[in-house]
Amino acid sequence: MAGYVKRILIVLAALGCAAVGAQAQNAYPTRQVRMVMPFPPGSSTDILARIMADQLSRKWGQPVVVNNVVGATGNIGAANVFRAAPDGYTLLFAPPTAYATNAALFKNPGYDQDKWSPLGLVAVVPYVLAARPGFPGSTVADLIDYAKKNPGKVKYATAGLGSTIQLAALEFGRRANINILEVPYRGAAPALTAVMAGEADFLFDVISTSVPMLKDGLIKPLAVGSINRSSFLPDVPTVAEQGFPGFRALTWFAIAGPPGMEPTLIQKINDDIRAILAQPDVIERLRAVQMEPSPMTPTETAQWFREEAELWGRVIKDAGIAPSD
C-alpha cells in the first residue's frame, strides 16, 4: 500500500512540474524581446523586420525591439544571436545569408547555419531576369542566342561577390552554357542603375525593386526566378518554363533563434508568426512592396533552410568561389 501511494505521489509531482512548465511557456514573453537584424536600417529586410516586430509586440503585449547589428555580410549580427541564451528573448531576422549562403562563403562565419532553431519563414521575393531597355530580344532564348553570338562580351551586373543576385546569374550562365562577363557594383541599386543606363546587358534583381522600372520601360523583363509565375508579373514566364526546369532564384526572409530552443517555445513563436502572416492588413502591406507572405511550420522552415543551403552551396562551389577569412 505504501509503495502504491508513493507511486501516486511521484506521478502527481511530475504532472505538477509539467503544468508549471506549460504555464511558464504560455506566459512567454514576460519582458522585452530583441530581434537582431544584421543589416543597416532602411533596407527592405529592415522594413520587413520592423513590420514583424511591431505585430509581435501587439500580439505578445511586450516590446519587440529591432536591433541592427551590422558587419561582415551579416555574420556579426547572426553570430550575436547564435551565442545568445535559447530562451526566446533574442531572435534573428535575416535573409538567406545567415541560413544558406555565408557558410560556403566564409571559413568561419561565427556560427553553424545547420544549428539554428527555425521559427518561421516570413516572405519570399522572386528575382526577375531583366535586360537593358534596348536589348534585342524579350525571352531567355533570345538572351542565350545573343550571348552565344557575342561570347565574352555580354555583361551582367551584380552586387558583388557572394551576393544572391551574383549567384543567380552564375547558375543561369552555367545551365545555359554561355560565356558572359560579370560587372560587380557596390550594391543592388547601382547594379540596377547600370542596366537601366545600358552599361550592362542584364541582371537578376528582386522583383520588389524592379517592378516600378519594368512598368516604366526602364528595363525589360525576360523571366522570373520563381518556380511558378509571380502574381506581381503574371505575364512574364519563369526561367524554369523557358527550358530550365527546377531553376529557382529567390530571396527570402526568416526568423530563427539560437540552437537549443525548447520545441514548445519554437512552436508557440511559429504559431504567432503564422497568425500574423494570415492577417489581411499584413498581407496587404507585404504585397504592396511585392513580397509574398510565406508562412511555414518549423519543420517546413528547417527543410527550406536545408534546400536553399544545398542549392547555393553547390552554386558557390561550381563557380570556384573560395571561402574568405
pLDDT in tens, the chain (325 residues): 444 444 443 433 444 444 434 444 468 999 999 999 999 998 888 999 999 999 999 999 999 999 999 999 999 999 999 999 999 999 999 999 999 999 999 999 999 999 999 999 999 999 999 999 999 999 999 999 999 999 999 999 999 888 889 999 999 999 999 999 999 998 888 999 999 999 999 999 999 888 888 889 999 999 999 989 999 999 999 999 999 999 999 999 999 999 999 999 999 999 999 999 999 999 999 999 899 999 999 999 999 999 999 999 999 999 999 999 8
Identify whether residues 120 and 84 lie together within a single domain: yes
- Taking each helix axis as running N to C, give the angle between helix 207-215 and helix 188-196, from 0 to 180 degrees, rounded to the nearest 10: 20
The answer to whether position 16 is within a domain reads: no
The answer to whether position 13 is within a domain reads: no
Identify whether residues 216 and 115 lie together within a single domain: no
Looking at residue 301, its amino acid is T
Contact 196, 213 (CB under 8 A): yes
Distances (CA, A) of 255 to 24, 116, 126, 274, 316: 22, 10, 19, 11, 24
Containing structural domain, residue 197: 126-242
CATH code of 105's domain: 3.40.190.150
Report how many domains make up the chain.
Answer: 2
CATH code of 141's domain: 3.40.190.10
* Residue 41 zone, left/alpha/beta (φ > 0; ψ -120 to 50; rest): beta
Identify whether residues 201 and 172 lie together within a single domain: yes
Last residue of a domain, one of 222, 242, 262: 242
Identify whether residues 80 and 101 lie together within a single domain: yes
The answer to whether position 25 is within a domain reads: no
Identify whether residues 141 and 232 lie together within a single domain: yes
Identify whether residues 148 and 236 lie together within a single domain: yes
* Confidence (pTM): 0.88
